[in-house]
Structure 1
Amino acid sequence: MTRRRPAVVAFDVNETLLDLAPVRAALVANGQPESLLRTVFARTLLTGFAATVVGSWCSFRDAFEAALAQESPLSAEERADVLDGFAELAPHPDVAPALRRLTEAGVRVVTLSHGSPGVAEAGLQRGGITPLVEATMTSEAIRAWKPAREVYLWAAGRCGVAPDRLALVAAHGWDVLGAQRAGLTGAWFPRSERVYPSVYEAPHVQAGDLAGAVEGLLALPA
């Protein structure tokens, strides 16, 4: 199927748009190595994915705290301090130019996360780019985690477009795969991952950075 230039581009939030540096800093402040974040984040995703697959659900915050308890000796109070770091996230430097490029080209911009409500909004405001984003969506509203098909179809419905007119940009291969399997256009670039997982179908758009991913979407036929 030939992909078309999207009418709306949805962006994943954690790592794709927002830098998790404040969470790493909170880990270090509580005596843990900053490298622990990668392990905890992976276990958080495993917890949420498993809950969705079996028809259960948990919030991102609860899954992250559970992962911290499994992977570290931190007390409940210390875990809460680390979790509070999510309220301090800010966009990566390349985010504002990428979002502005889309809006100036007449493409609507939204965010799509399974993270805690308010995280995307606070980060976008901290970066001064709230006016570039039409809507922030978290699948907590439907009690499911990406990459469940229902999340992407729900997002398309919220945006009022057919799935093939919605694109997802993410630095996570599993997220791009989920979007593409739901009929969206997927765009991947390296940030949290060095390479796209070779066991997945290729992304519709793949670039070396966020700007390249955006240009790849804009280059698709109208």
Structure 2
Amino acid sequence: MSARRPHVVAFDVNETLLDLSPVRAELVELGLPGHLLATVFGRTLQTGFAATVAGTWLPFRAAFDSALAQLTDLADDDRARVADAFLELSPHPDVEPALRRLTAAGVRAVTLTHGSPGVAEAGLERGGITPLVERTLSSETVRAWKPSREAYLWAAGTCGVAPERLALVAAHGWDVLGATRAGLTGAWFPRGERVYPPAYPAPAVVAPDLAGAVEALLALPA
């Protein structure tokens, strides 16, 4: 089935919408290199993915703390400081224009994360763009990390739309792959990843930036 213009667009949160610089800065404040964040974040995802595939579950914060414990010598209190920095995130500069473009086109916007509840809300509030987002969704509600099919189908049901009328925009290829496999319309653009993973089937949209991803979704046939 060809991709159709979505009625709702769901946005991944960490990195896709919100800049992780405060978390990186906290690592540096504790004497660690800022580039370590990419490794810690990757290990966090690995931990959460493995738990979901194995049939168990753990929240994002527990997975992040586990990754820090594995990769650093930080004490418990210092690891908590780093995790708390997720509540200090702000939107990337291109986020507000993209959300306003959707609003002007009459398309609903939501967030979909497996991150800790409250992170998306705090970041949207800090950026002054809360009114542009209909609701914030965390797959912690259904205890399944993305890219599990369950997380995306739950989001579609919560938004009251068929999966093919829900698009997922993310700067992570694995997230877009999961959404596409669940029947959603996937849209990828680069932030930390240079290209969409060549090993994956191409999604409906691969764009050079967030604005391009939004425009490509709006240009799909009704």
Question: Helix, strand or coil: the match of 1:212?
Answer: helix
**Correspondence for 2:71:** 71
Supply the distance in 1 between the matched residues of 2:9 and 2:87 (Cα, whole angstroms).
Answer: 24
Supply the distance in 1 between the matched residues of 2:156 and 2:61 (Cα, whole angstroms).
Answer: 25
Residue 84 of structure 1, CA deviation: 1.0
TM value normalised by structure 2: 0.99
Structure 2 portions without partners, runs of 5+ = none
Structure 1 runs of 4+ aligned residues shifted over 4 Å read none
Matched AA of 1:6:
P
**Correspondence for 2:163:** 163
CA RMSD across the alignment: 0.4
**Correspondence for 2:121:** 121
Supply the distance in 2 between the matched residues of 1:185 and 1:103 (Cα, whole angstroms).
Answer: 19
TM value normalised by structure 1: 0.99
Residue 2 of structure 1, CA deviation: 1.1
Supply the distance in 2 between the matched residues of 1:194 and 1:205 (Cα, whole angstroms).
Answer: 15
Residue 124 of structure 1, CA deviation: 0.1
**Correspondence for 1:212:** 212
**Correspondence for 1:3:** 3
Supply the distance in 2 between the matched residues of 1:116 and 1:79 (Cα, whole angstroms).
Answer: 15
Question: Helix, strand or coil: the match of 2:131?
Answer: helix
Percent of aligned pairs sharing the same letter: 75
Structure 1 portions without partners, runs of 5+ = none
Supply the distance in 1 between the matched residues of 2:160 and 2:217 (Cα, whole angstroms).
Answer: 19
Residue 203 of structure 1, CA deviation: 1.4
- How many positions carry a matched residue from both structures? 222
Supply the distance in 2 between the matched residues of 1:18 and 1:103 (Cα, whole angstroms).
Answer: 19
| Matched ranges for 1:1-222 at <5 A | 1-222=1-222
- Deviation sequence 1:125-174 (CA, Å, 0-9, x none): 00000000000000000111000000000000000000000000000000
